[in-house]
């Protein structure tokens, strides 16, 4: 019997609409974990094309990959630039 081959799951492959991307980010932000939020921003940026997000946000592609990873710690200014480049904004509501 041949062993089962698996491939890593990449959610970026399934986030094919702005609505799906916004929902994915909303769910990660609802959890409140900064590492998860940074990683989710990175996933959506990859879904949209990291080069395009870097260009539209005025940031370097490599620095975006680094800051928008699970180990990254993007500044608020970076988060806002990335969201704006993707046509999104950060909002606040009471819990």
pTM across the whole model = 0.86
Confirm whether 38 is domain-assigned: yes
In a domain, 94, yes or no: no
Q: Let me know if residue 22 belongs to a domain.
A: yes
d(CA 56, CA 32): 26
Q: Which helix (H) or strand (E) holds 32?
A: none
Residues 4 and 6: their CA atoms lie apart, in Å, by 6
Decide: 41 and 69 in contact? Cβ < 8 Å.
no
- Range(s) of the domain holding residue 25: 17-85
Interval 50-95: pLDDT, tens: 999 999 999 999 999 999 988 889 999 999 999 999 999 998 888 7
Q: How many domains does the chain have?
A: 1
- What pLDDT digit, counting tens, does each position of 10-28 carry? 999 999 999 999 999 999 9
As a whole number of angstroms, the distance between CA 69 and CA 57 comes to 17
CB contact set of 4 (below 8 Å; sequence gap of 6+)? none
């Amino acid at each position: 019997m041949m062993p089962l081959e698996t491939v890593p799951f990449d959610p970026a492959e399934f986030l094919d609409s702005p609505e799906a991307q916004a929902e994915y980010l909303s769910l990660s932000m609802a959890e409140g974990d900064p590492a998860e939020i940074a990683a989710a921003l990175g996933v959506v940026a990859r879904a949209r094309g990291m080069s395009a997000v870097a260009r539209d946000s005025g940031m370097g592609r490599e620095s975006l990959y680094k800051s928008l990873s699970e180990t990254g710690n993007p500044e608020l200014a970076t988060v806002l630039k990335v969201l704006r480049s993707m046509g999104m904004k950060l909002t606040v509501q009471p819990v």
